Structure formats: structure tokens, C-alpha cells
Amino acid sequence: MNHALTMLLDDLVDGALARQVPTVDQALAVLASGDDDLLDVVAAAGRVRRHFFGNRVKLNLIVNMKSGLCPEDCSYCSQRRGSEADVLKYNWIDPAAAAETADRAVAGGATRICLVASGRGPSERDADRVALAVRAIKERHPGIEICTSLGLLTPDRAEQLVDAGVYAYNHNLNTSEANYGHICSTHTYADRRDTVETARDAGLSPCSGAIFGMGETDRDIVDLAFDLRRADPDSVPVNFLIPFDGTPLAGEWQLTPQRCLRILALFRFVFPASEVRIAGGRELHLRSLQPLGLHLANSIFLGDYLTTEGQAAHDDLQMIADAGFVIEGQQDHAPPAPRPELVAIRRRGPGTDVPTNA
Ligand code: SF4
């Protein structure tokens, strides 16, 4: 590692431990660092993660309460107006179905349930429906954190959610203000920022993050990260674009695992003590480097996403244990369980009539 990078990373770590915001130049330098320096960048941001969150990983589960047929036109979204993506489309699921999904999530170690619905924003009736689901879940799991993500929020709807026992509200800024008009025409960046404020003002824990891989520049990423920091969310989901066929961003595979890790490292430096969550696109874009992402983020989604399937929950739990992390709310780390089923006696290649494994 060259001297300048060593100095940069030391400064970033010292600043983050003091909860200071990096400078724009420092942030851009993290994104511009080379693949040869990747492990040094991960190690530095990992020190910040360890300082504030130890070896804990928080697990969250998404319940898609209402899927597809949205009137908005967010170009990254498979549920958008005119989407031809072959995703599930259904109206509100009933509270019992939401509670049953929550049962499985809690058994898997999740401590937060995210109730999500497509649409511009919730009506009073929608919020009533969500309140019934919250009640059904809370009756069975009183200690669970419930987050809702229902679109643009008015103060009245926010109050309704608070009264229903909702803990947090998610509304992502998604991309920089400068880039926002390229990804959506039916609402504005300012609308989104207002909703984050409305949620906070009502007493909901603000959750707001981003999506990367939509043609943004490094400067867009830094501008967004700093804008988000000003919004001061308690949790920050970092999504990597899933370029659905049937949406305007189909075919946009712009990310590498290394790029994703640099973005996550930057977010850890900008949000040293906030929950940074690797969200949609984790498996697609981090690929076999997912465990390195755990050294940066302290939170992931367990199981499936809104309209795509995630890797098997069992594999997530195994990955967390293998990488030496422990699930938030559970006992200290135990060594990974033995896997005798992985010992496969070779029956192919030399000495057999079956082609070799290559
Ligand atoms: S408002 Fe939400 S559900 Fe609707 S298109 Fe945008 S991201 Fe998708």
C-alpha cells in the first residue's frame, strides 16, 4: 500500500471513530482506490465497524405486503408503472399471512421485520391495514422491531403508523439529487427527503439509503452519501441494482464485487455508528465476496427480497458463522457446525469413466 493511501485510511479511521464526516476528497479517494488496495480499504473500514458494532450482524426480513402495479415510474423497480418484469403481483396480504412470515423470520434470527407495499404512498385505509398486520405480529413477537416502507408519507399517516406500534420508516433517497431526474419522473428527490423528515418528526426511526449501479458517477455517490448523512438516518440500506428484464435498466450490469465493497467501505466511514445494511443485489453483485461485506456492513436481509429470491436463509446463517460473526440478539460466536455432508468421495476424473471436474 502506498504512503498516501496509508495516511488516508488512518485519517478516515480516526475521523470515523470520532464520528466526523470525511471530506469530499477523502470520500472520492476511497472510491478511486485500486483493486490491489482493496483489502487495506476493507480492513480500515472494518476497524470502524468493529469499534461500533463488534462482531454482531443484525438480520432483517422483508414482507412484501402488496406487490406490483405501482403508478410511479422508478426505473430500477420491477413493480413500476408499465413494468414487464415477470414478478408476483397481488393486493394486500392479510395480517395472518404477514404474522406467519414473521414467525419464520424470528426463528431464523431476524430482529426487524420490514413491511413494504408498492404505491406512491399509503392512504388512511392502507395504514389501517398495516396496523392490523403490526398488531398480529406484535401479539406473537412483542420485542420485534417493525419498520414500514409504504412510499411518500404525510404527517397524518406517519402518526397513524406510530399509534399502530411501528418503530421505523424506510424511504430511500436512492441516488444523488443531480441524478434523480434520470431515474424517476413521478416524484422528486425533495419529495423523498421530505418523507424522511416527516417520519423522523413523527417519532419514527428514519431508515434511508441508496441504490448503486444506475449510471451514477463517483461524485453522485459521494453527494448522496453526504446528503444522507445530513438526514441522519438510524439505518442505511445499500442496494445494488438488480437489472430486471422488462424495466428501463435491464442489462445494466455496471458493478463489480470490488466496486461494491468500496461503496460499502465509504458508507461505513460516512456512517460509522449507524446501521449499514447490505440490501438488494447482495448475492448478484458481491458474489463470493459477500463475507467481506460483513466486515463493513453490520446488517443484512435474511431470505428473499421484494420481488426476487435471496440465497437460502441457511446459507446466510452459515456464511455469518463461517466469517466469525454472531447474529444480533443471540449467543456469542460458536465455531461453525461440522459439515460431514460436504465430504464427497470422488467418483469422476482419473480412474473412472466420468469426465473430470474442470
Ligand atoms: S414508488 Fe416504490 S414500488 Fe413504486 S415504482 Fe417506485 S420504488 Fe417501485
Q: Which residues are registered as beta bridge partners of 62?
A: 114
DSSP label of 39: H
Domain residue ranges in the chain: 55-341
Per CATH, the number for 55-341 is 3.20.20.70
59-96 core/surface letters (b: 16 or more CB in 10 A; e: else): bbbbbbbbbbebebbbbbbbbbeebebebeeeebbebe
Distance 118 CA to ligand 1 centre (A): 6
Out of 193, 259, 277, 282, which one is annotated catalytic?
277
Q: How many CB atoms neighbour CB 207 within 10 A?
A: 27
pTM for the complete prediction?
Answer: 0.95
**Active-site residue (options: 147, 192, 193, 259):** 147
For residue 60, give the 3-state DSSP assignment.
strand
Show Cβ contacts of residue 303 under 8 Å, excluding neighbours closer than 6 positions. 61, 62, 105, 108, 310, 313, 316
Residues with CB under 6 A from ligand 1: 70, 72, 74, 77, 79-80, 118, 151
E strand spans, the chain: 56-66, 112-117, 145-149, 168-170, 205-207, 210-212, 235-240, 275-278, 299-301, 326-327
The C-alpha atoms of residue 10 and residue 297 are separated, in whole angstroms, by 19
pLDDT string in tens for the chain (358-residue length): 788 999 999 999 999 999 999 999 999 999 999 999 999 999 999 999 999 999 999 999 999 999 998 999 999 999 999 999 999 999 999 999 999 999 999 998 999 999 999 999 999 999 999 999 999 999 999 999 999 999 999 999 999 999 999 999 999 999 999 999 999 999 999 999 999 999 999 999 999 999 999 999 999 999 999 999 999 999 999 999 999 999 999 999 999 999 999 999 999 999 999 999 999 999 999 999 999 999 999 999 998 999 999 999 999 999 999 999 999 988 776 777 788 988 999 999 999 999 999 9
First CA to last CA distance, the chain: 35
